Chain A
Amino acid sequence: MTMAPVLMKGNEAMAEAAIQAGCDAYFGYPITPQAEVLEWMARRMPEVGRTFIQAESELGAINMGLGAAATGARVFVSSSSPGISLMAEAMSYMAGSEVPLVLLNVMRGGPGLGSIGASQSDYWQATRGHGHGDYHVPVLAPSSISEAVAIVADAFEIAERYRTPVMILADGVLGQQMEPVVTEYRNPPRQEFDWALSGAKGRPPRVVRSLHLQPYELEEHNDHLQKKFELIAAQETRFATEDLDDADILIVAYGTAARVARSACERAREQGVKAGIFRPITLWPFPSAALREAAGHVRAIVVVELSAGQMIDDVRLAVGERTPVYFHGRTGGMVPTPTEVAQTLLGAAADTEPDYWLPDDAGVPTLQTRAPSSRSEPADPDEILLRPVELFE
């Protein structure tokens, strides 16, 4: 069924997508740039007869989420970077207790109170588990509002399928912008949970907990969790590619950065540099194998992020030393322009232009190295961040 796109704000579209995905309860706390999620839920959840609470803090919100989700309810919680930090404790508990819940982070600039501008500086926090302990949570990163709508439903499905909290990692641009949205809402089918709390009627009591005081028991539990993470990595890894067939330069970017990258890619092609895009959709599990394969066909990789460089760690882990990795990032709520990124692409292309043989004066074929002498320097080094990454320095 195709529907006419509707003009919607990202935060509101994601909130409505959660309602349409059957979310039973929403808990939140005001923070920019995600306050519209809370406001939308405040109006809509009572309309559809479901639970809405504006909590006393992000700690309150996420723990209400933990309680409701422990009964098998479909729970949605949202916040932005500083609030997400406060939620790390409960996320760790939920990972340990295997409680499914969907948490939306509409990232803003950090560290600390930072700025309210769009940022991607919570990548490490999100993909390295978020809280204390040995765990990951699946992290889904939409790049458009339409994709975000679809991802909200997918996130509930993944959460319930694997009994795990799931994070949707969006950013201030995605939350605040309006664009035509394909509202293909989906309400994933419900499962019977043999662990959910409902009162021990006609069955033995159930306990939802993360405490395993005996070290051998906890190790057993951790082994179980690690096996689950391996399964998630094998089954749920997602990415998208564009213009890879003839690409010499590969941009790796997610979310809003990937939107900028697309425009930059077009500009680079206009100037004769064949660039393509590799866009991770799951940041954990990171699509390492697919990226390694794609990297085998290009001269260089340019990672574009709204951060000082975080996903670049996973890119380097994936491709190793085989492909030079460049970086273009802006921080603090600044968003790179396509022109800036295109400059970096041109620079990386020039830098990695293949060597070639030319006869010297005596007619003997001689290896000519073009890089890095022919490399185009960025116009304004303060404005443009271009740094080749030294591996194992």
Chain B
Amino acid sequence: MTATIEAPERRIIYQRPESLSEKSTHYCPGCGHGIIHRLIGELLDEMNLTERTIGVASVGCSVFAYDYFDVDFVESPHGRAPAVATGVRRVQPDKFVFTYQGDGDLAAIGTAEIIHAAARGELLSVIFVNNGIYGMTGGQMAPTTLLGQRTTSSPLGREVGAAGVPIPITEMLAVLPSVAYAARGSIANPQLIGRAKQMLKRSFEIQEKKLGFSIVEILSTCPVGWGMTASQAMEHVEKEVVSTYPLGVIVDRPLQAAQEA
């Protein structure tokens, strides 16, 4: 008697999201951009947004995002992505528009643009990748750099007297009533990556429902700029960075309104 073994059903459980291009990224080993790109790509696929999406790339390592996403993209001058996105969104009201900005771009040179886009309640999803450093130019101090952190432009460590305090810009933006959703996530471990994806999803839904401006800050890594290995960098985010930038949903006004009703 011979036993018949049925072949298990084959199904793909993991593949490149269709809205990401085939191109390999130029990002350094251990950099968080690849993971964050993937999360966005998965959501564009899942929410069927790819063909209606216009992305805004900002200056920094992630300017090349336009090479890695299979969606329409416009490159913005340094810090101006929220203004550029405002222009796109206002004349293309049926599109899905996101900016992808680093912390130097958003929290230093682009502070005016982000605050006023938020104050106007522009229907944008801002993806704010915070690695606390200017990665592309060689690891200089950013407004988000932790106190005491050594960078190429704070060689003795960031000191309050000379360089001020880290800017919690997402909390600052969350104060504005026109900000529908503000949250801070991280990609430091698989669980947190899943949580970050939920935050991005909520932001995308809020834009699709035209409920207001939303921002998701994602604590990321720059092993090269930080002088760490990839795993040390992830651990650093998980243990150190979160004490300055606590994780969680800072405000979800549509949810609050629904709960109050």
Minimum Cβ distance to chain A for residue B252 (Å): 26
Interface pair B75/A207, CB less than 8 Å apart: yes
Minimum Cβ distance to chain A for residue B40 (Å): 14
Minimum Cβ distance to chain B for residue A64 (Å): 4
Q: Which of B28-36, B82-90, B214-222 is near enough to bind chain A?
A: B82-90
Interface pair A71/B92, CB less than 8 Å apart: yes
Q: How far is the CA of A231 from the CA of B85 in the complex (A)?
A: 32
Q: Which of B48-56, B162-170, B229-237 is near enough to bind chain A?
A: B48-56
Instruction: With CB as the reference atom, state the residue of chain A lying closest to B52.
Output: A199
Interface pair A66/B69, CB less than 8 Å apart: no
Q: How far is the CA of A90 from the CA of B76 in the complex (A)?
A: 9
Please, which residues of chain A bring their CB within 8 A of the CB of B69? 205
The one of B51, B66, B115 that contacts A207, using a Cβ cutoff of 8 Å: B66
Known: A198-B72, A199-B71, A207-B72. A70 touches B90 (CB 8 A): no
Interface pair A211/B90, CB less than 8 Å apart: no
Q: How far is the CA of A261 from the CA of B121 in the complex (A)?
A: 51
Interface assignment of B171: CB less than 8 Å from any CB of chain A: no
Interface assignment of A385: CB less than 8 Å from any CB of chain B: no
Interface pair A53/B86, CB less than 8 Å apart: yes
The one of B70, B71, B87, B96 that contacts A27, using a Cβ cutoff of 8 Å: B87
Interface pair B71/A205, CB less than 8 Å apart: yes
Q: Jot down 12 A-B pairs with beta carbons below 8 A, ordered by A.
A: A51-B90, A55-B83, A63-B76, A66-B74, A66-B76, A66-B80, A67-B74, A67-B85, A198-B92, A199-B52, A200-B50, A207-B74
Known: A56-B113, A201-B51, A211-B75. A24 touches B87 (CB 8 A): no
Against B, the Cβ 8 Å flags (1 = close, 0 = not) of A201-233 are: 110011111110000000000000000000000
Minimum Cβ distance to chain A for residue B67 (Å): 8
Most chain B beta-carbon contacts within 10 A, residue among A68, A201, A202: A68
Interface assignment of B112: CB less than 8 Å from any CB of chain A: yes
Q: How far is the CA of A27 from the CA of B91 in the complex (A)?
A: 12
Known contacts A199-B92, A200-B72, then 18 further A-B pairs from the complex at CB < 8 Å, ordered by chain A residue: A27-B87, A56-B112, A59-B80, A60-B86, A63-B84, A63-B87, A67-B83, A67-B84, A67-B86, A67-B89, A69-B87, A71-B88, A89-B77, A199-B53, A200-B71, A205-B69, A205-B72, A209-B66
Interface pair B80/A70, CB less than 8 Å apart: no
Minimum Cβ distance to chain B for residue A199 (Å): 4
Most chain A beta-carbon contacts within 10 A, residue among B54, B63, B70: B54
Interface assignment of B116: CB less than 8 Å from any CB of chain A: yes
Against A, the Cβ 8 Å flags (1 = close, 0 = not) of B89-112 are: 111100110000000000000001
Interface pair B75/A67, CB less than 8 Å apart: no
Q: How far is the CA of A211 from the CA of B77 in the complex (A)?
A: 10
Please, which residues of chain B bring their CB within 8 A of the CB of A59? 80, 83, 112-113
Interface assignment of A73: CB less than 8 Å from any CB of chain B: yes
The one of A63, A71, A73 that contacts B77, using a Cβ cutoff of 8 Å: A63
